[in-house]
Amino acid sequence: MAAQEEECKGNVKAQLAKLFEVSLKVTVPNEADVDPLIAACTGKFGDYQCNNAMGLWSKIKGKGTQFRGPPAVGEAIKNNLPTSEIIDSCSVAGPGFVNVVLSKNWMAKSIQMMLIEGIDTWAPQPPVKTAVVDFSSPNIAKEMHVGHLRSTIIGDTLARMLEFSKVKVLRRNHVGDWGTQFGMLIEFLFEKFPNFEDATETAIGDLQAFYKASKQRFDSDPAFKERAQQAVVRLQGGDEKYRRAWAQICEISRTEFHKVYQRLGVHLEEKGESFYNPYIPGVIEGLTKQGLVEESQGARVIFIDGINIPLIVVKSDGGFNYASTDLAALWYRLNEEKAEWIIYVTDVGQQQHFDMVFKAAKRAGWLPQGDNYPKASHVGFGLVLGEDGKRFRTRNTEVVRLVDLLDEAKNRSKAALIERGKGEEWTEEEIESTADAVGYGAVKYADLKNNRLTNYTFNFDQMLNDKGNTAVYLLYAHARICSIIRRSGKDVEELKNKGTLVLEHKDERDLGLHLLQFAEVRT
């Protein structure tokens, strides 16, 4: 019994289910495997509801039952409930719905236990131990721009939620660090820096400009283009000099990426496209042996039911592509990392691609049919728009660099603090740390409060407003609460352990119920 109590600790629905399970066995002893159907109420008749009566009636009518309809079944379920301190009262409504009103004393005691033990001990419990969250994923040698904002923020938030729920999370940065563009970049690096290993972020300058210049050279100079194409062959063939140059470019990019991750407080472990490259041939061979890979117009593809275009896994020139890499990554995550849930956080435009990859994995037997674990999920999101309703760009039509956007948020926050006279009251360190928290927090919250699947307009003034549904308002409210606690002169830890919580007012009870339902949240 102790193990059962531990299993449903903090989960009101699960605790009520245990009680109704006992009642159902008494009410319909001849019906096996009847699971209690417990749901939170949205009406005024109770806090929770047991909805088994109608389903049971359809099973038992005509079997010589003593009951005369669903309401009678509901009454019996209510009457057979074991005594419990959880329940204040029960009533039956409509076609046998059993409404439950929770005991205020039990609610208060449970919330107090939540305070004493820590909210993390009441965290929802997903049915997985290990998950991969694949997010952010910029391309090497390109600046992180506003297009990476949502993936980074949403992905980090999902990872934090799972970690809070005691899931081991592998935070994966699937950077674009492999492919034909690297031949062009390496040759351009050799030209600009004969001693390429001395090249640094400072020496190269703007990575985006470096990439554009190399692309322009590639498009306009046939001799350079030929050298770049040969460079790809040498790189992929393992030539040491080309591998060192490639590693140098990757390292310079990482330094740039780190500036963004540091500002946002985001931690990631990089496993880019190059990491999975050695696994691709074996994965494609295995899929071929299963009869999934077919020839089509010179390419090798997997046909997916319900989708009129195939998933190309080997291009007509024999090269691999995103699908090849994503299949290899999925195989690795399932078989080597033993992940039970793999979550990909990208824009909604990639929905079909991942849908095809997941369906191919199901055909191969890597993933079960339906929504069972292990499973893979695509978490899509809309675009970040400017005031003109178009994709957010600078005045010269360039995509906004993410590090510049974040610095602007912090600088505006700092200016607002100084305007309010905090420069006279606080140290420079206090001003900087507060500007960090408010500025970066405002950007994060503005992203997360919007519907994930729709586009939203980026507006600094709205984000940094201290009124309304903003991070600044929430931070201000938190600061006020902390101030009230300080001025009270009370020891919070002592209050938790020696005080008694009372839910007298209706609003207090409503808030208490909302807090108790935290453990029932499901992803």
pLDDT at 183 over 80: yes
pLDDT band at 8 (very low <50, low <70, confident <90, very high): very low
Residue 6: per-residue pLDDT:
41
Residue 377: per-residue pLDDT:
97
Residue 142: per-residue pLDDT:
84
For range 225-247, the mean pLDDT: 91
pLDDT at 3 over 50: no
**Apex CA 112: angle with CA 108 and CA 118, to 5°?**
145
Look-up of token digits 């008494």: 26
pLDDT at 444 over 90: yes
pLDDT tens track for 376-393: 999 999 988 888 888 777
Name beta bridge partners: 176.
139
Residues 6 or more apart from 444 whose CB is under 8 A from it? Answer: 153, 264, 471
pLDDT at 396 over 90: no
Residue 200: per-residue pLDDT:
67
pLDDT at 351 over 90: yes
The CATH class, in words, for 12-102 is alpha beta
Residue 11: per-residue pLDDT:
87
**Closest to 201 measured CA to CA, from 136, 125, 258, 123:** 258
pLDDT at 146 over 90: no
Percent of the chain with pLDDT over 70: 95
The answer to whether 277 touches 325, Cβ cutoff 8 Å, is: yes
Name beta bridge partners: 132.
170, 342
Q: How far apart are CA 429 and CA 426, in angstroms?
A: 8
pLDDT tens track for 242-278: 999 999 889 888 988 999 999 999 999 999 999 999 9
pLDDT at 474 over 90: yes
97-102: strand order across its sheet: 38-40, 48-50, 97-102, 87-93
The answer to whether 302 touches 311, Cβ cutoff 8 Å, is: yes
Query: In terms of CATH, what superfamily is 130-175+272-381?
Result: HUPs (3.40.50.620)
For range 210-229, the mean pLDDT: 91
Name beta bridge partners: 345.
379
- The helix (H) or strand (E) run that includes residue 481 is helix 471-488
pLDDT at 467 over 60: yes
Residue 205: per-residue pLDDT:
62
Residues 6 or more apart from 20 whose CB is under 8 A from it? Answer: 36, 38, 50, 52, 77, 81, 98
For range 134-155, the mean pLDDT: 91
More confident residue, 192 or 340: 340
The answer to whether 78 touches 98, Cβ cutoff 8 Å, is: yes
3-state secondary structure of 260: helix
The answer to whether 165 touches 177, Cβ cutoff 8 Å, is: no
Name beta bridge partners: 311.
302
Both tokens of 100, joined, read: 């439950």
Side-chain-facing half-sphere of 237: CA atoms under 13 Å: 9
Q: What is the mean pLDDT of the chain?
A: 90
Q: How far apart are CA 244 and CA 384, in angstroms?
A: 37
pLDDT band at 90 (very low <50, low <70, confident <90, very high): very high
pLDDT at 397 over 70: no
For range 17-34, the mean pLDDT: 91
311-314: strand order across its sheet: 293-296, 299-302, 311-314
Domain with CATH 3.30.1360.70 in the chain: 12-102
More confident residue, 306 or 6: 306
Domain with CATH 3.40.50.620 in the chain: 130-175+272-381
Q: How far apart are CA 140 and CA 310, in angstroms?
A: 28
Residue 387: per-residue pLDDT:
82
Q: How far apart are CA 158 and CA 55, in angstroms?
A: 36
Residue 488: per-residue pLDDT:
92
What's this model's pTM, rounded to 2 decimal places? 0.89
